Amino acid sequence: MIPVPSPDRLERAQRAVAAAGWEALLLSAGTDLRYLTGYNAHPSERLTCLVVPAEGESLLIVPELEAPMVKAAGATIGLRAWAETEDPFALVAGHLRKVGPPGRVGIGNRMWAEHALQLGSATGSRAELAGPLMAQLRMRKDDAEAAALFEAGRAIDRVHARMAEWLRPRRTEREVGRDIAEAIVAEGHESAEFTIVGSGPNGASPHHLLSDRVIETGDLVVVDIGGVTEAGYFSDSTRTYVAGGRVAPEVIDLYGVLQAAQEAACRAVAPGVSAAAVDATARGIIEQAGYGANFIHRTGHGIGLDVHEDPYIVSGNDIPLEAGMAFSIEPGIYISGRYGARIEDIVICTADGVQRLNTGSRDLLTLGA
C-alpha cells in the first residue's frame, strides 16, 4: 500500500515558498512532486506541473489523459486537466497571475530544460532552483518514510544473503547481474534500479555496471545493488566477495582497513555531528593505512525517494546531522587495473545515535569455492 502524504507536506512547502519570497514553487514530474502529493507522474514532453503559490490554492496541472492516474494515486489536490490542444504553460501563467505580477519562482532542479524555458516565456517570472528548499523539506524522514527505507533495506539484505546462488568463477558479470536483478524484484522491490558486479580489475571502477568479463577464481567482486519499492523508496547496499579460491594477504589487509573505516564512520553518526566529520572518520583510517589516494569518492549520499539526495557525506559539507536523516556509509579502496573493494550500508541518524538499515555480514566472504 502506498501511503498518501499528509497535507502537512504541502503546507510546509507553501510556508517555505513564502519565506523565500517566491511567487510560487513549480514542480514537474519527479520525486519532489511525488513527495508533496503522492502522485508519481511519468516524465514526458506533455507538461505536468504542480504550482504551490506563496499563498492561496495549490494546483496540479496535468495532461487530460493522465488525470485518472492522479485520482488513482489518492492525491487530494486541486486538479486542472489540460486537453491535447490547450497550452499548459499559459495555464500555469494564469494561476500565477491570480497571485500578483511576475516576480521570482522556484523550479524543480530536474525539470526538463524545454519545460523550464517555456514556463519562463509564458510567465515572465525569473526562475531559481528549488533544490535547496526541497532538500530542507525532504532531508529528515518521518516515521512512515523511515519504515519504507527499513523495508527496502531488509529486501536488499535478503538478496545479498542469497549471493552464493549466483556468484562463482566461470560465470560472466552479466549472467550474475541478471540473476541478481531478478532476485531484487522477487525479494520485495518494484524494480531493480542498478546492479554493479565489478570483478577483478573492474572492481576498481566504482560505477562499473556489468560486462561480459568471466569471473576468475580468486577475484575480488564488488556487488553494489539496489531497487525501488512500491512506496517509492530506494535500497542501496554493497558487499565485496571473493569468487572461489584464496586472495593474497595484502588483499586481506586492505579489506581489514576498509572494514574498520566503514565501522568507525557508522559509529561516528549522531545528531550534531557534521556530515564532513563522518567523511573524515572513514577517510582518516584509510589515509593512515596508506590508501588515501585510492579512496576516490565521498563517503556517502542521502537516500529516500531518490537514490542520491541530500545530505551528502563529503568533505566541506558542514551540515549538522539530525534525527531522521538517512544516508549511505560506503568507503571504498580501488587499486587501478587490479581490484577494488567497497562496503556500503544505509543508516538513519536517530535521536541518540544511529541505526543501520543493512545488517548482513560485512566480512570478506568466499563464494563458489
Tell me which residues touch Zn ion (CB under 5 A).
Answer: 224, 236, 238, 328, 344
- Give me the amino acid identity at 214: V
In 3D space, the residue among 166, 218, 227 whose CA is nearest the CA of residue 197 turns out to be: 166
Cell numbers 576498481 label which residue?
A: 204
What cell numbers appear for 28 in the block?
514537474
- Which residue, 179 or 345, has its beta carbon nearer to Zn ion? 345
- Which residue, 173 or 236, has its beta carbon nearer to Zn ion? 236
Q: In angstroms, give the least distance from the CB of 267 to Zn ion.
A: 19
- Which residue, 199 or 238, has its beta carbon nearer to Zn ion? 238
- Which residue, 10 or 348, has its beta carbon nearer to Zn ion? 348
Q: Residue 132 contacts by C-beta under 8 Å, 6 or more apart in sequence?
A: none
Question: From its phi and psi, is residue 171 left (phi > 0), alpha (psi between -120 and 50) or beta?
Answer: beta
Q: In angstroms, give the least distance from the CB of 273 to Zn ion.
A: 20
- Which residue, 115 or 301, has its beta carbon nearer to Zn ion? 301
Q: In angstroms, give the least distance from the CB of 300 to Zn ion.
A: 7
- Give me the amino acid identity at 191: S
Q: Where are the beta strands (DSSP E) in 229-291?
A: 237-243
Q: In angstroms, give the least distance from the CB of 194 to Zn ion.
A: 7
- Which residue, 89 or 327, has its beta carbon nearer to Zn ion? 327
Sign of CA dihedral 358, 360, 362, 365: negative
Q: What secondary structure letter does DSSP report for 2?
A: P
- Which residue, 9 or 162, has its beta carbon nearer to Zn ion? 162
**CA–CA separation, 4 and 7 (whole Å):** 9
**CA–CA separation, 226 and 194 (whole Å):** 6
- Give me the amino acid identity at 198: G
- Which residue, 58 or 238, has its beta carbon nearer to Zn ion? 238
In 3D space, the residue among 123, 113, 136 whose CA is nearest the CA of residue 23 turns out to be: 123
Q: In angstroms, give the least distance from the CB of 314 to Zn ion.
A: 13
CB atoms within 10 A of CB 351: 9
Measured CA to CA in angstroms, residue 58 lies from 5, 70, 227, 354 at distances of 15, 15, 32, 37
Q: In angstroms, give the least distance from the CB of 226 to Zn ion.
A: 6
- Check: CB of residue 235 under 8 Å from CB of residue 160: no
Q: In angstroms, give the least distance from the CB of 236 to Zn ion.
A: 4
Q: In angstroms, give the least distance from the CB of 241 to Zn ion.
A: 15
